Every structure is written in C-alpha cells, then in structure tokens.
Chain A
Amino acid sequence: SQQGEEDPQALSIQEGENATMNCSYKTSINNLQWYRQNSGRGLVHLILIRSNEREKHSGRLRVTLDTSKKSSSLLITASRAADTASYFCATDRYNNDMRFGAGTRLTVKP
C-alpha cells in the first residue's frame, strides 16, 4: 500500500527557478528518501534524511523533515532543463521496508 503523498502532482517551471515538492506520510519512519526517475528508467537516489534530522543539503538539493507533521519537502534551486523528471519520496519504516509516494512530475522549460 502507498505510504506517502506528494504535492503537487505536476509542476512546470522555467529554467533558473526553484522547484519545491512536498511529501506527507502516515506512519512513524526510520528515514525518508527522495528519488528521481527519468521517463522509462529506474530510480536514482537523491537524498536520505534520518528521522532525527531536520534538514539536509546536497548540491542544489535541500530536504527538510518535520516528523511532528509527518511531512518532508524537496527544494531544487536554480533548476535546469535536465532536472525534468519524476520525483518520489519513500519512507523506510524498518529493514528497508520502503513505501513510495505518488510522485511529482517536474518539467523545467529551457
């Protein structure tokens, strides 16, 4: 069964703008992960944030986690056309038992 929900479902922005995607989940978690999927391909891991962490950065990516609200956000700064993809959050409850959200389809227009 699904664990999380992302919003928005689809996001279209211009190159150079920032993109923010949100994820909500329902149960307690060990960690939360964000993945990227290009059309018809497998998933690429972006960032893992542990349940005791509140914010994490990796290059142009910034992830926040609010366990009290059971929510997370992914911010991509200075977006590029190559960032066009679907982005999924996944919650890891235990022993790598991961559940994926519905995903946000991001389109970055050049």
Chain B
Amino acid sequence: GAVVSQHPSWVICKSGTSVKIECRSLDFQATTMFWYRQFPKQSLMLMATSNEGSKATYEQGVEKDKFLINHASLTLSTLTVTSAHPEDSSFYICSAGTVLYSNQPQHFGDGTRLSIL
C-alpha cells in the first residue's frame, strides 16, 4: 500500500527555535497533503490543506505566519513551526491524497512529536 514518510518522529528544542517537519509520499504523487495537530487523548484537528504548487489553505484559528507550509513537489510537503513556544508542543501528523481518485483513503505519516522547552 501507499506509504507516507514523516520526519523527524520526535523533536525537542528550546523556545524560540523554528522547527521543520517533512512529509513525503514515497510511492505515489500526492496532489494534496494535509497537516493535523493532535493533543493528548484528543482527536486530529485539521490545520491546513496543502496543494502542490499553490498556497496552503489554513483552517480558521490557525496562524499562517506561525505554521508555514510548503508543497513544492508532488512528493514533499513541509510544515515549519516558526519561533516555537511551549504551547506549540503537540503531535503533528501529515497525510497525503490525490484528488484524481475519489473515494480513496488518505495515507498518514507516523507523526512528529514536538516538545518545546
């Protein structure tokens, strides 16, 4: 089945640091990638939808200047948490899909646990 690789799996860094998370689709071309945030024992909250070659669409309440998303190719999307603070600590998960095929499941990465000290 389709594989999505997310890297790194765990990041611990100091407050004020910017952190970049990569999401790669390894065996298919992902026209759309999604970034989610998940707090402990809670559901996934969609942060933004990233379409290759265009600007990401952010959900209400998500700061686009805080969470920079780039989807430069059909196999790679990146999420950069700029000037991270402790409240940004969370589990971030990406998924990839293609609008070429309707009624197909998304494929998820294994997530990145971000801890800001």
Contact = CB atoms under 8 A, between A and B. Distances in A.
A45 B105 contact: yes
B110 A41 contact: yes
A65 B29 CA distance: 30
Contacts of B44: 43, 88, 100
A31 B42 CA distance: 22
B19 interface: no
B108 A42 contact: yes
A58 to B, nearest CB: 12
B7 interface: no
| Interface size range on A against B | 20 to 34
B91 A40 contact: yes
Most A C-beta atoms less than 10 A away, residue of B6, B46, B107: B46
Interface residues of B, number: 31
A42 B107 CA distance: 9
Interface in A36-54: 40-45, 48, 50
Contacts of B105: 33, 45, 48
A40 B43 contact: no
A5 B107 CA distance: 22
Interface in B1-52: 4, 6, 32, 34, 36, 41-46, 49
Given A31-B103, A95-B99, A42 B111 contact: yes
B43 A30 contact: no
A103 B45 CA distance: 12
Interface of B: 4, 6, 32, 34, 36, 41-46, 49, 59-60, 91, 93, 95, 97-99, 102-111, 113
Given A1-B59, A45-B107, A96-B106, 11 more contacts: A1-B60, A40-B113, A42-B110, A48-B104, A92-B103, A95-B99, A96-B34, A96-B97, A96-B98, A102-B43, A103-B43
Interface of A: 1-2, 30-31, 33, 35, 40-45, 48, 50, 88, 92, 95-103, 105
